[in-house]
Amino acid sequence: MKFDIAVLDGDGIGPEICAAAIDVLNKIGQKYQHIFNFKHYDIGGAAIDKFGEPLPESTVKGCLESDSVLLGAVGGYKWDNLPGDKRPEKGLLGIRKAMGLYSNIRPAKLWKSLAGASPLKPKLVENGVDIIIVRELTGGIYFGKREHGTKDGEEYAEDTETYSVKEIERIAAIALELASKRSKRLVSVDKANVLETSRLWRRTVHAYAAENYPDITVEDVLVDNMAMQLVKNPAQFDVVVTSNMFGDILSDEAAQITGSIGMLASSSLGDGKRGLYEPIHGSAPDIAGKDICNPLATVLAASMMLRDSFGLTDESKEIENAVQKMLDKGYRTADIYEEGAIKVGCRKAAELICGEI
Ligand code: NAD
């Protein structure tokens, strides 16, 4: 099969980690006889330098014409003092909007060979952690009606949470589809004991699941309990779906459990198969251009792209297995290095993964 991939290298370590992911995709392509065509477009600081804006029209067009998009990271010291709408991060928000992406999928996987990196006690993570948090991305309180003013001589502020059945159904559909390919269990997180939006959320998720995914077990967990359970017994969770604000907080909590930011990938999806795949970390300007960064989050983002956008499940699994084998053999980039390991750089890490494929 043939796929067009738009690559947005971005800034800092962006070009290094994207190059590593491209090497791995090419290796998979060779083995399984797929052709991946890569076209690079500018975003973030790199685009500001060339075009005077963080998201040029050519980048939007290239992404919309592609089968999927791989993003490195944006931002850096050089552009830190620009006004809000001219900053590199604006490019990210813009491309998500232009591509109509309303879900954010954040796997938090603790690789057994990296269990020591988790801040939790070893006995809590001895069976590994492999959670996917599906966060609604374009609705809820972050996008609701807001007000700030003075009433009866006192300053006040107000943010409103709104969700429609359609918004809840479409995010539930993404989470249920993922759950159907994994454990067939879905945890839906809300605050239905207090919030009206949560009561609608709960009813809608159950009704949609019963009608479209009757073989999936849906369990409800209140958000305060979820925050506790994530650190008490993270291994109990598989796929989790939740609203924009709860997902924002819980996905960062889950990420911390794994202890290594350089290992975590994320994707954003909308209607259709095209998605935006990226590491969760930033552009790490402090280590850019030194060939010492960890490319694994981006390589794993590419693996998610194969599975979730292209339906290439075996190929995706093969990348994950190759990463596992490389770690099992003791190879580590500087950020996850521990005594007795073999320290490698970004390019070497990619070469080792290719060698395992
Ligand atoms: P960061 O994630 O870039 O870096 C935090 C720390 O983690 C740094 O010490 C960095 O060296 C290290 N690190 C990050 N990724 C690594 C990797 N792959 N391998 C090894 N070490 C890694 O966060 P920050 O320092 O707060 O932000 C730097 C820039 O990135 C800022 O301009 C920020 O706005 C931007 N940023 C972009 C994104 C994105 O593009 N999605 C996300 C977060 C931050």
- Please, what is the angle between helix 346-356 and helix 313-328, to 10°? 120
Q: In whole angstroms, what is the distance from residue 69 CA to residue 95 CA?
A: 10
CA of residue 284 to ligand 1 center, whole Å:
4
Residue 14 pLDDT grade (very low, low, confident, very high; cuts 50, 70, 90): very high
CB 305 within 8 A of CB 266: no
Domains observed in the chain: 1-104+265-357 (3.40.718.10), 119-257 (3.40.718.10)
Judge whether 294 and 349 are in contact, CB under 8 Å. yes
Q: How confident is the model at residue 127, as a pLDDT?
A: 81
319 pLDDT more than 80: yes
CA-wise closest residue to 57 among 42, 40, 46: 42
Flag whether pLDDT at 46 surpasses 80: yes
| pLDDT reported for residue 43 | 98
Question: What pTM did the predictor assign?
Answer: 0.91
Distance in Å, CA 306 to ligand 1 centroid: 25
Structure token digits, residue 66: 């592609």
CA 181, CA 58: separation in Å to the nearest integer? 36
Q: Which pLDDT belongs to residue 83?
A: 85
Q: pLDDT exceeding 70 applies to what percent of the chain?
A: 100
Residue 166 appears among annotated catalytic residues: no
Residue type, 91: G
Identify the CA nearest to 270 among candidates 68, 60, 40: 68
Average pLDDT, stretch 229-252? 96
Residue 37's pLDDT is: 98
Q: Which of 11, 248, 277, 308 is catalytic?
A: 248
Q: How far apart are CA 11 and CA 9, in angstroms?
A: 7
| Gap from CA of 283 to ligand 1 centroid (Å) | 5
Which residue out of 18, 92, 283, 332 has the highest number of ligand 1 atoms within 8 Å of its CB and is therefore the one to mutate? 283
For residues 27 and 34, give the distance between their C-alpha atoms in angstroms, rounded to a whole number. 10
Q: Are 233 and 199 in contact (CB under 8 A)?
A: no
- In the chain, the percentage of residues whose pLDDT exceeds 90 is 89
User: What separation in Å is there between the alpha carbon of 194 and the centre of ligand 1?
Assistant: 36
Q: What is the pLDDT of residue 116?
A: 84
Q: What is the CA radius of gyration of the chain?
A: 21
CB atoms within 10 A of CB 295: 28
- Taking residues 46-74, report their average pLDDT: 97
Residue position matching structure tokens 């052709």: 35
Looking at ligand 1, which residue's alpha carbon is closest to its atom 1?
282
Q: Average pLDDT in the 154-164 region? A: 96
Specify the pLDDT at position 351: 98
Q: What pLDDT is stored for residue 307 in this prediction?
A: 93
pLDDT average, residue stretch 171-187: 95
- Selecting among 27, 90, 109, 191, the annotated active-site residue is 191
Output the pLDDT for position 157: 95
Q: Which residue has the tokens 């060698």?
A: 355
Residue 73: what pLDDT? 97
Active site residue 191: yes
194-203 pLDDT, tens digit each:
999 999 999 9
The pLDDT value recorded for residue 323 is: 97
At residue 322, the pLDDT reads: 98
Residues having CB closer than 6 A to ligand 1 are 13, 73-76, 89, 92, 261-262, 278, 281-287, 293-294, 297, 335
Segment 176-183 mean pLDDT: 93
Interior/surface letters 220-251, b for 16+ CB within 10 angstroms, e for the rest? bbbbeebbebbeeebeebbbbbbbbbbbbebb
pLDDT at 300 over 90: yes
Query: What pLDDT, in 10s, does the model give residues 286-297?
Result: 999 999 999 999
pLDDT tens digits for 64-120?
999 999 999 999 999 999 987 789 999 998 999 899 999 999 999 998 888 888 999
Residue 3 near residue 34 (C-beta atoms within 8 A): yes
